[in-house]
A = this chain, B = another copy of it.
Amino acid sequence: MPNWKNIEGHIGTPEGFCGSALSAGIKKKKDELDLALIYCEAVEATAAGMFTTNRVAAAPVELSRQNLKLSRGKARVVVVNAGNANACTGSEGMRTARAAARSAAALLGVAPREVLVASTGVIGVPLNADLITKKLPALAANLTAANAAAVARAILTTDTFPKTCVLQTTLRGKKVTLAGIAKGAGMIHPRMATMLSFITTDLAIAAPDLQKLLRGAVNDSFNRISVDGDTSTNDTVIAMASGLSGIKAPPGSPEAAHFLRGLSELCQALARMIVRDGEGAKKLVALEVHGVRTQADADRIARAIANSPLVKTAIAGSDPNWGRILVAAGYSGAKFDPGRAEIHVNGLALCRRGLDAGFSEAAAKKELDRSQITIRLDLGQGRGSARMWMCDLTHGYITINASYRT
């Protein structure tokens, strides 16, 4: 099988997709893009979705879940807005989400159940349906493949840069393209959080297969990142496949396996961008946990470390406080003997056999000053391993979140 290669592009790059974005006045800041459409033009796309596990799910999440079920995994359109999450908005919020879907469906001549809806932004503030429905005609009129590039900017909130990844491969002489965008900066949690991601591909793949592969890719990417340990009402990952490359990926085929590799690579690239853009974050940390008795315990340990405010602040201050890493592992609920633990930062040993490794403070600080850091904890007690991506916790996070709403 050939590799997937990074190419320039956007979610309009795979065959069959177009999009557009404009400013609808939903964000506080004037003239910022905040409303967008993604459209599979010529054909019905197969579609899959992963949504928040939070019991308090936003109206657009509820509606998209329902529509994916009603349409049995077919979709033509995504309507997405930023600036207001349409969460904790009750039945009125549901009416707004439905009005957006109905209006887009009428404009594009598709069934309302083929429209998926996503929102991100402030919680508990009513979202005026008119803001969306009045702008949908202009959005529909501007749908082109090239205009889809702007969607990545329209979905941002506290993000400081748009997040896009496009991968391409050649299968049986034909090009297959896979494109994704994401937004997310705070409230990012292993269980997906205030993050949205939209993925398009021109592979031909049945909806149940796409759903299965998407679940696997999300579990190894968006569910392995931590910015602040909170989980949101609006998390949504939607994948749509047009099939227009002409290449099919039936279950169990080499093509399906190849697609999963690409999808995982794409989701991990987007997940890392989210962490790198963590609110106030200056550093991207890849955390690797090895040598744990069981896989489940490795996972527990990695999550406890990645969510620890003390570990995150120590990284912010380039303080080689390896004890905090071991301590977080200690309260994870996993069983282990701390006396065999080894901790490395970018290959520099901080802890050996559970004790200070006698490292040079200057050398440790130099490694921790880097913007990309790998922390490796090896317990030497088994074959379980896990990986997470996290960021540092800085003054910037406090500044952003102390007055997000007001």
Contacts and interface: CB of A to CB of B under 8 A. Distances in A.
B398 A398 contact: yes
B323 A401 contact: no
B90 A339 contact: yes
Contact of A87 (B231, B323, B334): B323
Contacts of A125: 356
Given A228-B309, A338-B88, A355-B124, A398 B330 contact: no
A327 B406 contact: no
Interface string A338-368: 1100000000000101111000010001000
A328 interface: yes
Copies in the complex: 2
Given A323-B88, A326-B56, A124 B356 contact: yes
A124 B323 contact: yes
B230 A327 contact: yes
Contacts of A191: 331
A60 to B, nearest CB: 15
A336 to B, nearest CB: 7
Contact of A313 (B57, B231, B334, B401): B401
B320 A405 contact: yes
A39 interface: no
Most chain B beta-carbon neighbours within 10 Å: one of A191, A327, A336, A361: A327
Interface SS of chain A: loop
Nearest to A321: B405
A187 interface: yes
A122 interface: yes
A232 interface: yes
Nearest to A328: B230
Given A87-B323, A124-B351, A355-B89, A403 B328 contact: no
A404 B187 CA distance: 26
A45 to B, nearest CB: 31
A79 interface: no
A319 B402 contact: yes
A395 interface: yes
A55 B336 contact: yes
Nearest to A336: B55
B55 A338 contact: yes
The range of chain A's interface size is 35 or more
Contacts of A324: 123, 230
A229 interface: yes
Nearest to A92: B355
A354 B88 CA distance: 6
Interface in A376-406: 393-395, 397-399, 401-406
Contacts of A164: none
A322 interface: yes
A310 interface: yes
Given A88-B351, A124-B351, A55 B335 contact: yes
Given A322-B124, A335-B55, A310 B356 contact: no
Given A324-B123, A356-B126, A319 B229 contact: no
Nearest to A88: B323
B308 A230 contact: yes
Across the A-B interface, the 7 shortest Cβ-Cβ residue pairs: A317-B402, A123-B323, A56-B330, A313-B401, A124-B323, A231-B331, A54-B330
11 contacts: A56-B326, A57-B330, A88-B355, A123-B321, A124-B326, A124-B351, A229-B229, A229-B309, A231-B331, A309-B401, A319-B402
Interface of A: 53-57, 85, 87-90, 122-126, 186-187, 189, 191, 228-233, 307-310, 313-314, 316-317, 319-324, 326-331, 334-336, 338-339, 351, 353-356, 361, 365, 393-395, 397-399, 401-406
